[in-house]
Chains A and B, each alone.
Chain A
Amino acid sequence: MSKQEKKQAVKAKSNSPYKQYLLFGLVLLLIPVLVHIGVIKYSFLTIIASILIYSIVALGVNLLVGYSGLVSLGTAGFMGMGTYLAAYFTADLKLPFEISLIISVAVPMIIGVVTGLVSLRIEGYYLAIATLAISEILRKVFVEFDVVTNGFSGKDADYPTMLGFFELDRNSTFILIVVILIAVMFITHNFINSYTGRALSTMRGSEAAAQAMGINIYRYRLLSFAVAVGYAALGGVLYIHFIKYTYPNAWTLLFSLNILAVIIIGGVRSIPGTILGAFIVFGVPDLILKNLPVIGDIDGLAYVFNGVLIIVVILLYPAGLIHFWHNTKMKLAKGRKGKEGNHA
Chain B
Amino acid sequence: MNIFIQILLNSLETGGIYALASLGIILIYRTSNTQNYAQGSLSMFNAFITTFILIKTGLPVGIVAILGMFCAFFVGVLVDRVVISRTLKMHSVSKQIITLGLIMIFLGIAPMIFGTDPLQFPRFLYGSHSVLGATISYNAIVNISVGIIIMLVLFFMLQKSKWGLSVRATASNDVVARMMGIPTPLITMASWAIAAALGTLSALMLAPTTSVNLSMMDGVQVIALLSCVLGGFQTFYGPVVAAYIIGTVSNLLSYYVSSTWSDSILYLLILALILFRPNGLFGKKIVKKV
Instruction: Answer whether A257 and B93 are a contact pair too, CB < 8 Å, given A133-B226, A136-B263, A137-B267.
Output: no
Instruction: Answer whether A257 and B104 are a contact pair too, CB < 8 Å, given A118-B272, A129-B35, A133-B222.
Output: yes
Instruction: Answer whether A71 and B290 are a contact pair too, CB < 8 Å, given A140-B261, A315-B86.
Output: no
A128 at the interface (CB under 8 A from B): yes
Q: Which residues of B contact A330 (CB under 8 A)?
A: none
Q: Which residues of B contact A302 (CB under 8 A)?
A: 108
The stretch that binds B, out of A24-32, A184-192, A218-226, A293-301, is A293-301
Which of A69, A118, A257, A300 touches B111 (beta carbons < 8 Å)?
A: A300
Whole-angstrom distance between the alpha carbons of A65 and B102 in the complex? 19
B186 at the interface (CB under 8 A from A): no
Q: Which residues of B contact A303 (CB under 8 A)?
A: 104-105, 107-108
Instruction: Answer whether A311 and B83 are a contact pair too, CB < 8 Å, given A125-B35, A133-B222.
Output: yes
Q: Which residues of A contact B116 (CB under 8 A)?
A: 299
Q: Which residues of A contact B98 (CB under 8 A)?
A: 310-311, 314-315
B274 at the interface (CB under 8 A from A): yes
Whole-angstrom distance between the alpha carbons of A264 and B278 in the complex? 29
B275 at the interface (CB under 8 A from A): yes
Q: Which residues of B contact A305 (CB under 8 A)?
A: 108
A221 smallest CB distance to B (angstroms): 13
Contact A118 B275 (CB under 8 A): yes
Whole-angstrom distance between the alpha carbons of A73 and B99 in the complex? 13
A119 at the interface (CB under 8 A from B): yes
B204 smallest CB distance to A (angstroms): 22
Contact A307 B104 (CB under 8 A): yes
Contact A304 B229 (CB under 8 A): no
Contact B226 A299 (CB under 8 A): no
Q: Which of B82-107 contact A (CB under 8 A)?
A: 83, 86-87, 90-94, 96-98, 100-105, 107
Contact B290 A126 (CB under 8 A): no
A181 at the interface (CB under 8 A from B): no
Contact B101 A308 (CB under 8 A): yes
Give the nearest-CB partner of B228 in chain A.
A129
Give the nearest-CB partner of B266 in chain A.
A133
B271 at the interface (CB under 8 A from A): yes
Whole-angstrom distance between the alpha carbons of A4 and B86 in the complex? 48
Chain B interface extent, by class: 35 or more
Which of B100, B215, B260 touches A257 (beta carbons < 8 Å)?
A: B100
Give the nearest-CB partner of A115 in chain B.
B271
A238 at the interface (CB under 8 A from B): no
Contact B218 A253 (CB under 8 A): yes
Whole-angstrom distance between the alpha carbons of A311 and B101 in the complex? 6
Whole-angstrom distance between the alpha carbons of A315 and B95 in the complex? 10
Contact B222 A125 (CB under 8 A): no
Instruction: Answer whether A140 and B260 are a contact pair too, CB < 8 Å, given A253-B218, A303-B107.
Output: yes
Contact B96 A304 (CB under 8 A): no
B130 at the interface (CB under 8 A from A): no
A176 at the interface (CB under 8 A from B): no
A306 smallest CB distance to B (angstroms): 5
Q: In this complex, which of B86, B108, B215 has the most chain A Cβ atoms within 10 angstroms of its Cβ?
A: B108
A65 smallest CB distance to B (angstroms): 7
Contact B271 A118 (CB under 8 A): yes
B153 at the interface (CB under 8 A from A): no
Chain A interface extent, by class: 35 or more
A244 smallest CB distance to B (angstroms): 26
Q: Which residues of A contact B240 (CB under 8 A)?
A: none
Interface residues of chain A: helix, strand, loop or mixed (majority):
helix
Which of A208, A254, A264 touches B290 (beta carbons < 8 Å)?
A: A208
Contact B229 A254 (CB under 8 A): no
Q: Which residues of B contact A71 (CB under 8 A)?
A: 93, 96-97
A336 at the interface (CB under 8 A from B): no
Q: Which residues of B contact A130 (CB under 8 A)?
A: 271
Q: Which residues of B contact A144 (CB under 8 A)?
A: 260-261
B101 smallest CB distance to A (angstroms): 4
Whole-angstrom distance between the alpha carbons of A304 and B86 in the complex? 20
Contact with A along B28-65 (1 / 0, CB 8 A): 00000001010000000000000000000000000000
Q: Which residues of B contact A261 (CB under 8 A)?
A: 101, 104
B142 at the interface (CB under 8 A from A): no
Contact A264 B272 (CB under 8 A): no
Give the nearest-CB partner of B34 in chain A.
A125
A188 smallest CB distance to B (angstroms): 20
A175 at the interface (CB under 8 A from B): no
Contact with B along A10-39 (1 / 0, CB 8 A): 000000000000000000000000000000
Q: Which residues of B contact A257 (CB under 8 A)?
A: 100, 103-104
Contact B222 A137 (CB under 8 A): no
Instruction: Answer whether A128 and B35 are a contact pair too, CB < 8 Å, given A122-B274, A122-B278, A208-B290.
Output: yes
Which residues of B line the A interface, CB within 8 A?
35, 37, 83, 86-87, 90-94, 96-98, 100-105, 107-112, 116, 215, 218-219, 222, 225-226, 229, 260-261, 263-264, 267-268, 270-272, 274-275, 278, 290
Closest 5 A/B residue pairs (Cβ): A307-B104, A303-B108, A304-B108, A310-B101, A300-B108
A-B contact pairs, 5 of them (CB 8 A): A119-B271, A136-B218, A136-B267, A300-B111, A307-B103
Which residues of A line the B interface, CB within 8 A?
65, 69, 71, 73, 115, 118-119, 121-126, 128-130, 132-134, 136-137, 140-141, 144, 208, 252-254, 257, 260-261, 264, 298-308, 310-311, 314-315, 318
